[in-house]
């Protein structure tokens, strides 16, 4: 789709998550977004990072995305996760809520 903006962020984390099936929350609709949380792809470097990929219809809000995702990462400190977001102009409040909903089902791996 034309006009979409792609954003990529990586944050370091400390919490490894137990094996899980991909989690999908939200819907791609006006003012809403879809969040897909997956284990880092097999073969990806085990580097203590959590990777975020954002496709958004609202261009020019990179700084806000970074702040929202950084706060989420500070709350949960995940590593070894890949988070994909398809956004249709959701407010930061909705983004944070969806991220927390997606994170709710994840359990910390046994040390």
Partner 1 sequence: MNLNVTPAEPRVWNTRATQRAQRLERVARELGPALQGKQVASEHVVALLNAALRPFDRVCLEGNNQKQADFLARALVQVDVQRVHDLHMVQSVLALPEHLDVFENGIAAKLDFSFSGPQGARLAQLVAQGGVRIGAIHTYLELFARYFIDLTPQVALIAAHSADAQGNLYTGPNTEDTPAIVEATAFSGGLVIAQVNEIVDDLPRIDVPAGWVDHVVVAPTPNLIEPLFTRDPAQISEIQILMAMMAIKGLYAEYGVQRLNHGIGFDTAAIELLLPTYGESLGLRGKICRHWALNPHPALIPAIEAGWVESIHSFGSELGMEDYVRARSDVFFTGADGSLRSHRAFCQAAGHYACDLFIGSTLQIDLAGNSSTATLGRITGFGGAPNMGADARGRRHTSPAWLKAGREARAGLRGARGTPRGQKLVVQMVETFREHMQPAFVETLDAWPLAEQAGMELPPIMIYGDDVTHILTEEGLANLLLCRSDEEREQAIRGVAGYTAVGLARDRRMVENLRDRGVIRRAADMGIDVRDATRNLLAARSMRDLVRASGGLYQPPAKFRNW
Which spans of this chain sit near partner 1 (rule: CB under 8 A)?
31, 58, 61, 63-64, 67-68, 89, 91-94, 97, 100-101, 104
Count of helices and strands (H, E) across the chain: 2, 7
Residues, the chain, total?
Answer: 111
Nearer to partner 1, 44 or 59 (CB): 59
Helix axes 92-104, 62-76, angle to 10 degrees: 30
Q: Classify residue 108 by its DSSP letter.
A: B
- Closest contact distance (angstroms) between CB of 45 and partner 1 is 31
Nearer to partner 1, 13 or 26 (CB): 26
- Closest contact distance (angstroms) between CB of 43 and partner 1 is 33
Nearer to partner 1, 57 or 84 (CB): 57
Residue pair 47/14 in contact (Cβ under 8 Å)? The answer is no
């Amino acid at each position: 789709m034309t006009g979409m903006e792609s954003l990529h962020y990586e944050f370091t984390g400390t919490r490894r998550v137990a094996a899980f099936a991909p989690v999908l929350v939200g819907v791609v609709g006006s003012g809403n977004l879809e969040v897909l949380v997956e284990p880092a792809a097999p073969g990806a470097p085990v580097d203590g990072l959590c990777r975020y990929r954002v496709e958004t219809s609202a261009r020019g809000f990179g700084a806000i995305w970074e702040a929202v995702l950084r706060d989420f990462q500070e709350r949960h400190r995940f590593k070894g996760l890949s988070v994909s977001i398809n956004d249709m102009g959701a407010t930061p409040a909705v983004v944070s809520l969806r991220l927390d909903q997606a994170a709710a089902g994840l359990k910390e791996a046994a040390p």
